[in-house]
Structure 1
Amino acid sequence: MMDLIVLMAKYVPENCHNPLFAIFNETVVIQDVQIQKRSYKLLTKLMETEGGLKSALAFISNILEIFLKTSDSTLAGAKSTRLSCILLVIQNLPVDYLHFIPAVLSEVIISTKNVNEKTRQTSYQTLIAMGNKMVEFDGAPIKNSLNDAEMPDGTATLKEFFTMCSAGLVGSTQHMVSAAITSLSCLFYEFHTRNY
């Protein structure tokens, strides 16, 4: 059934998108790799259409909340599909939700060391999309306090994004430090011509 729902998602009229979001909400938490993959694919396919993207942006706060809640419960086999979905969300992220970037940044950085090549490639693409989003909304506020009440709010700049990524260099494991180094290398290469 989930395969059929995923295939039909882009053809469903806008007034039927609410049930699709409900299906995503219910299935993304099920501890089954195939179900989780299809859940993320469902949201991805929906957001690839103009009407689906419009509907997703109307529910963006709920979608982001689900992503944050399922960060630890996503099974390894579904990581690549989850990252592809996060990439699409980041590319279409409204300015008021920039706090989502630091909230998922460590997950994206650590994914650059994943054994799955597709997951690694998608994580690098997501890092670059995050950097581009910070450039696009240069000077906009990042409400970090929505992630953690003790964190000060920030301002969207490419320099701030590099600072966020640099935090991984003092990670508690060698794996995180190595992931931070490869992530920063990717970002330096991508943005080296910008004067920030």
Structure 2
Amino acid sequence: MRKVFYAIFFLLITGLCAYPVFFFKEIKEPALLPEFHLPSQEDIWNFNNKLKAISNEEQNPKLILSLAELNYHANVFSYKPAYGFYIDKIRFASKDNQLKCFLLASGFTLRSLIFSFSIGSEKEQFVLNNFAINNKRLSPSSPIYKYFLKALKQISNQHPDSLLAKILSDKLLISFENNLITITNSD
């Protein structure tokens, strides 16, 4: 009986020690990034004009942006390092007819750590799909997914008015069609 217990205990300890090694081996390879629409000076002016135009609307204003304008809007705030990593830039791209968010970061001894997820809305409800770290897609039930999502929410809450904080706290509805993004408050 004792030998069986020790064998099971040994296998359990070996499995717990091996999981992080294999997990980190999978995320060491940097993700392939799509081409991003980076903002020009004209995109910045257009974005500021759109913000001024909707600031007068009282009932649930809609902000319609191009990908370049959205990429400018996402990077207005900078975040302090926390939870073992640092978010350097936030980029959005359209991939497979979906809006994808890429958080370009570093941490956990990795120079390139890229968090990515798809954003959508179904029946007036926010949906976050396909969460991945570099090339490793994570299941929503995994403890690593829960840790990173909690950490990202905490980091983004350094600036509660930031686009990232509002996306992760489910305060925005985002729809994507014909390379135009419509953002409305879900309050």
Shorter chain as denominator, the TM-score bin is under 0.3
TM-score (ref. length: structure 2): 0.26
TM-score (ref. length: structure 1): 0.25
Return the index of the structure with the highest Cα Rg. Answer: 2
**Looking at both structures, which has the greater relative contact order when contacts are Cα pairs under 8 Å and sequence separation is at least 6?**
2
Considering fraction of residues, name the structure with more strand. 2
